Amino acid sequence: MGLETRSAQQRAAPRLLGGSLAVWRGRPSPLGASWDGAGVNFALYSQHASRVELCLFDPKGRREIGRVELTERTDHVWHGYLPAARPGLLYGYRVHGPYAPAKGHRFNPNKLLLDPYAKRIAGELAWSDAQFGYRLGSRREDMAMDTRDSAGGMPKSMVIDDAFTWGHDKPPRVPWSDTVIYEAHVKGLTMRHPGVPEQLRGTYAGLACPAVVEHLKALGVTSLELMPVHTFVDDRHLVERGLRNYWGYNSIGFFAPDSRYSASGEIGEFKSMVRTLHDAGIEVILDVVFNHTAEGNHQGPMFSFKGIDNASYYRLMQGDERHYMDTTGCGNTLDSGSTAALRLIMDSLRYWITEMHVDGFRFDLASALGREPHGFDTRSSFFAVIRQDPVISGVKLIAEPWDVGDGGYQVGGFPTGWTEWNGKYRDVIRAYWKGEGGVIGELAYRLSGSSDLYAAGGRGPSASVNFVTAHDGFTLHDLVSYNDKHNEANGEDNRDGDSNNHSWNCGAEGPTDDPAVLQLREQQKRNLLATLFFSQGVPMLCAGDEMGRTQHGNNNAYCQDNEVSWLDWELDGPGEALLAFTQRLAALRSAHPLFRRRTFFRGIELEEDGAKDMQWLRPDGLEMTHAQWAESHARCLGVRLSGRGLAESDEKGRPINDDDLVLLFNAHHERIDFQLPPCDPPGWEVLIDTFEADGLPADAVPRNGGGSYPLQGRTMVLLRHQERAQALNA
């Protein structure tokens, strides 16, 4: 990721230096570096600074060629205007003020600092002790200031021109009820894709290639959720071990797309990717990390916020301001209740919506953002500001509803307007198909949209983002192939990563040639995927699971920027079959509004025959009783969904109807003959049977209502009322 030497960039600094370096008063808003066609306005927030210097660099970022003191200060914003500056100019800041760690102040003008509002960050970080504001090895009590200049090893902020021709680009605005999310890594998705030109692999441009878009469309994907693309830092300890922070949850530039994912080095490449995906009807959702930064704890490095105004940006321990409150497990926590940090977060979100045209955000460790001094609060400043913002409140907002602090697990606790990664869904679906007992009661809640979590707060099934796997943890293949994590490649003696995975290896740990084990693993994958697509709520598929991707038992591959993490597109027979099966699931979900309800089932009788909108069934075909939900041995149940019970209409107010559907679940290892519910006229058509390798039933004979279905061990089946379907279609 070298600095660019485009002619425009080369002209930026010399044209400036040819003059007298005169600085005009400028404006305090907007923050950051803003080019207006004639010059550049610079504005930096720092409440506690005593002096701010703007440092200018040569086109390669190696030599500081001038400094400009920003003497104007308005409402804690230091600002100035350089009339000769141009896009391509590289710059940074040196900020003066008290160095008093015990009081929360860590100003050190020897350290070059990135602009928190930089739209582009160029160059690589070259780790050295100079990146630390204190002298390493000094006594903890004083943490003496380090006076070495850090500029030589620091990346630089760059002035940009935001101009881009969007044409007729429009956000797809996919309704939540129709949304299918695909979580992917920019680099990992395309690094090994044979249909992506080699020079574009691993980049934003690679994501826009037809082969990738066609794959997403065939899966029914409506929303591509990208793991962090904000400029981030590779941790020093990883770099020294030859590893990288592959996942990118270590942000330092909340406005700048990371240039290591750019084939061209231009901001426009990201915008072109968004425009291409929009043309295909696919939304772009960004995974954003506003809960902490790459600067770590009191012993961490100084890149930006810590040196600009530590006390304004971070949550510090009351009465012990040397130390940081850490509800993230990453050393620090951004203070989303402070003026500086809250404005930064909101300005960043608006920028990515208005300038980059993204369609939503998934907030990493979102509970940390909703914390007030007394704990998590849905009335916090963060939620209140988003709720009233006409731009931000209009896009998809997804919370990872937990952090590592006390009271941080908030699944079901976020306010209206938010959806959530439903960790309870993941855990119970895994536990059920693993064969654990005593879970069918909670299973029913999760399959039906988790009304126990969301109904009381005024939200519907779409508040639940359902997932079985995500980037953090086992892949789908590894979930059914390993009992234990195998993270030795991370260099942490297998201590990292979660040890409680609800995984089951189906009889052999890791790779095996046992045909029975292999057959069962494929069957379990089909069970988990079918459950995901046929549950109420928003399904999220982790990239590669549809093809059986493996990380060889590594459930914390955050530092594996290699073939452990990159998707392998060369599929074997089972991989091709699983992909076709997943595509079929997506098509069935799209075809049946019953799987995409906007409101919860109510369990009410609809007609004189006693049929309900949703009816839970036991294997003898009768309705489940209250006592049976608590039976620890129960591992088999069914549910009948009535197409007459949608009670919903389309955009034009027309009633929505669907077939009657039945789902059968059997996590027991033996076959169970399940009595099918009565139907008039008789005839249930089998659409999916996960016991079969292709998911297709062994025969196409309709099953009569009141008859039994041979529900094989560890199998899931979907049936529809055939005669009713024909009548509706007519």
CA distance 599 to 591: 18
One-character DSSP codes across 27-66: -S-SSEEEE-SS-EEEEEE-SS-SEEEEEEE-TTS-SEEE
> Is residue 314 helix, strand or coil?
strand
- State how far the Cα of 151 lies from the Cα of 115, in Å rounded to an integer: 13
CA angle (89, 95, 96) in 5-degree steps: 150
Which residue type occupies 180?
Answer: V
Q: Is 570 known to be catalytic? A: no
Token pair of 271 as six digits:
């915008």
Is 685 considered catalytic here?
no
CA separation for the pair 449, 344 (Å, rounded) = 35
Helix axis angle for 423-434 and 515-534, nearest 10°, is 140
Q: For 91, what's the count of Cα atoms within 13 Å in the CB-facing half-sphere?
A: 35
Under DSSP, is residue 661 helix (H, G, I), strand (E, B) or coil? strand
Side by side, the strands of the sheet bearing 72-74 are 32-35, 40-45, 77-82, 72-74
Radius of gyration of the chain (CA): 28
Which residues does residue 42 pair with via DSSP β-bridges, in sequence order? 33, 80
Can you say whether residue 455 is alpha, beta or left, with left for phi > 0 and alpha for psi between -120 and 50 degrees? alpha
What dihedral do alpha carbons 508, 513, 515, 521 form, nearest 10°? 50
Determine the angle formed by the axes of helices 305-313 and 339-354, rounding to 10 degrees: 120
H/E element, 348: helix 339-354
Residue 399 DSSP class: E
Instruction: Count CB neighbours of 125 within 10 A.
Output: 21
How many other CB atoms sit within 10 Å of the CB of residue 237?
12
**Omega before 109 within 30 of 0, i.e. cis:** no
The one catalytic residue in 72, 295, 400, 522 is: 400
- C-alpha separations of 571 from 193, 547, 585 in Å: 11, 7, 19
What is the CB neighbour count within 10 angstroms for residue 226?
22
DSSP assignment of 609-644 equals T--BSEEEE-TTSSBPPTGGGG-TT--EEEEEE-GG
Buried b (16+ CB within 10 A) or exposed e, 688-716: bbbbbeebebeeeebbebeeebebbbbbb
How many other CB atoms are there within 10 angstroms of residue 67's CB atom? Answer: 11
User: Up-side HSE of residue 283: CA atoms within 13 Å toward CB?
Assistant: 25
Strand 464-466 relative to strand 538-542, pairing: parallel
**Coil, strand, or helix at residue 585?**
helix
Question: Which of 42, 39, 81, 179 is CA-nearest to residue 533?
Answer: 179
Which residue is it, tokens 């990515």? Answer: 352
What are the strands of the beta sheet with 51-57, ordered from one edge? 64-69, 51-57, 90-96, 156-158, 121-122
Q: Which of 269, 283, 326, 364 is catalytic?
A: 364
d(CA 691, CA 697): 8
Q: Tell me which residues are annotated as active site.
A: 364, 400
